[in-house]
Structure 1
Amino acid sequence: MSNYAQVLTEDRRLVILRALAELPSYKSNSSILCTLLERWGHSPSRDQVKTDLRWLEEQGLLKVEEVESVLLATLSERGMDVAKGRAVQPGVKRPGA
């Protein structure tokens, strides 16, 4: 992966975590997250968003549930810590960095 692609991937993952952290239930679906990412300057495919959600789940930053053709993501406690900059996760951009 090129340096530029890596920066975009890490930022996209942070935006996902921060978006979930701002929602009252800390939960959203992949379709809504795709729309939110577009508002933050990303243009991901739905497949990219789903891949990021699965990767974030593997890291313990959120839980993913498959509902029909979308994924439902719920932020974990560790995911909240990474979103707020209280913990560091390689592969996710640090807030403010």
Structure 2
Amino acid sequence: MLRRFMIERDIPKVGTLSGQELGDAARTSNGALAKLSGIQWQYSYVTADKTFCVYLADSEEVIREHARLSGFPASRITEIVTTIDPTTEQKCSMATAPA
């Protein structure tokens, strides 16, 4: 079963890249992913000097191998254990309400 991870990548000035440059980066990442199993890129958030990438993967090791193959750093890898959103309060209230 694949686990969800957040990968923080320190990439100076990544937020200034053009659409074409971001497309090239995605192509590079996809090329590395094609060589691996047990890993799937879901999406990335781009800030001024970092990306925060959400991946499904078997392990941290396969994420580090993707970083090595793609040339993009994996500065920090954190497993995501759950998610919450604005509706979590209502869901939890309903789950604990008396029958």
Give the alignment's TM-score, normalised by structure 2: 0.27
**Structure showing the higher strand proportion among its residues:** 2
Report the structure number with the largest CA radius of gyration. Answer: 2
**Structure showing the higher helix proportion among its residues:** 1
Give the alignment's TM-score, normalised by structure 1: 0.28
